[in-house]
Amino acid sequence: QWYQRRVTGERRSYVSVVKTINVFRDLICTAEWVTGRELIKIVKCYCKYLPLSQSNETDVSNVVRRILKIIREESVGPEATNSADGISAFFKTDIKPCNLGRSDLQDNILNSIVELLAELDTSKSNIVNMALEHIHSNERILTYGHSNTIRDFLLYGRKARDFEVIVCESGPSLKGHKMAAELSEGGIKTTVIADSAAFAIIHAVNKVIIGTHTIMADGALRATNGVHQVAMAAKFFSVPVIVCAPLYKLSPTHLCSYDPDAFNKVIGPEKMLNFSNANLHSKVLISNPDFDYVPSDLIELFITNTGGHAPSYLYRIISELYHPEDYDLDNMCVEDVEDEMAT
């Protein structure tokens, strides 16, 4: 029941990812399996106990796909990985067992999982260390709300650059005030503006640097509510929008326009209309969505822990991180797994 315990702050996604990996690492050690095919079936069957269908748990789904990809790669052995079949071999659904026994295969899988944990542990620092490549002196940068990654990214750039930051307050949560205070304490000249003033000020901005909750397969964003209007204003004035996010936020899924509930999450309206105004509640209907959909054509560059990437290059990264059979993991059921394993 680890996923039911709430972790406050932006570290919630990172903590969920690490705990997910530890759960499946224990499962790999304790479950009864002999071949990689049997282990994949066990992992997929165990997925029904995880909140993969919740919109705020996309990172959990992504790391499960990473683990499945590791199992597939270690199961086929290095001779299959280095074969000349190319793309056709990548899309094969069957797993040809290698000559490794359970013990050796398990050690290889666990070693790869340790490397995955090391990648996650250094993902934020790798992003922050690229700040000096994208921040220049005397620039005016606009950001939205509060993000630990963006805060550290800007503070690292302050070590060698002198620039100004404008923070949209991100109503109704007003997390931008916290962001502005932390940047100001770090020696950065910071100004807080209302979200509605973004269009009026953005013509004087050199670039927009934001974080995101999820990067969709086509380069679109599931970002904090209010980011879409900022990205639209930046597009109008030809201001580049840069997104800083680790690769575990990259999802192989797309937005389903016919199912908005699968994309967004509606939170309580108490910050918009106080419960003390009880006489108004029966007269109005308030929708307070938690996320905004930001199309990929509004994004200039993604800064991840492996470097900077254009939105059009994300498809290549997805093919390296995930296997096509695991893209639709959220809608996978045990019966489908059994049918797949029987073929």
Candidate from 126-140, 169-183, 319-333 with smallest mean pLDDT: 319-333
In the predicted model, what is the mean pLDDT of residues 56-66? 85
Q: Is the pLDDT of residue 11 over 90?
A: no
The pLDDT, as a whole number, for residue 81 is: 45
Confidence of residue 183 (pLDDT cuts 50, 70, 90): very high
Q: Which tokens belong to 84?
A: 């000349």
Calculate ∠ Cα 111-115-120, nearest 5°.
145
The pLDDT, as a whole number, for residue 78 is: 52
The pLDDT, as a whole number, for residue 284 is: 79
Q: What percent of the chain has pLDDT over 70?
A: 80
Confidence of residue 330 (pLDDT cuts 50, 70, 90): low
Can you tell me the distance from the alpha carbon of 5 to that of 26, in angstroms, rounded to the nearest whole number?
Answer: 19
Per the listing, tokens 């964003």 go with: 221
Q: Is the pLDDT of residue 268 over 60?
A: yes
The pLDDT, as a whole number, for residue 283 is: 77
In the predicted model, what is the mean pLDDT of residues 140-148? 95
- The residue ranking higher by pLDDT, 242 or 84, is 242
The pLDDT, as a whole number, for residue 45 is: 86
The verdict on pTM exceeding 0.75 is yes
Candidate from 107-111, 171-175, 334-338 with smallest mean pLDDT: 334-338
Sort strands 140-144 and 164-168 into parallel, antiparallel or unpaired. parallel
pLDDT tens readout for residues 82-108: 444 444 444 455 555 566 678 889 999
Q: Is the pLDDT of residue 59 over 60?
A: yes
pLDDT tens readout for residues 277-291: 667 767 777 777 778
Q: What strands lie across the sheet with 189-193, from one edge to the other?
A: 189-193, 164-168, 140-144, 207-210, 241-244, 301-304, 307-309
Q: What is the DSSP letter of 250?
A: B
Of 165, 293, 163, the C-alpha closest to 228 is 293
Biggest CA–CA distance in the chain, Å, is 72
Can you tell me the distance from the alpha carbon of 132 to that of 58, in angstroms, rounded to the nearest whole number?
Answer: 30
Can you tell me the distance from the alpha carbon of 37 to that of 28, in angstroms, rounded to the nearest whole number?
Answer: 13
Helix axes 58-81, 11-30, angle to 10 degrees: 50
In the predicted model, what is the mean pLDDT of residues 134-142? 96
Can you tell me the distance from the alpha carbon of 311 to that of 326, in angstroms, rounded to the nearest whole number?
Answer: 22
- Ramachandran sector of residue 113 (left: φ over 0; alpha: ψ -120 to 50; beta: rest): alpha
250 - beta bridge partners? 215
Of 234, 238, 210, 233, the C-alpha closest to 223 is 210
Q: What is the DSSP letter of 126?
A: H
The pLDDT, as a whole number, for residue 66 is: 95
Confidence of residue 7 (pLDDT cuts 50, 70, 90): very low
Q: Which tokens belong to 294?
A: 């930001």
Q: Which residues contact 88 (CB under 8 A, 6 or more apart)?
A: none
Mean residue pLDDT across the chain: 83
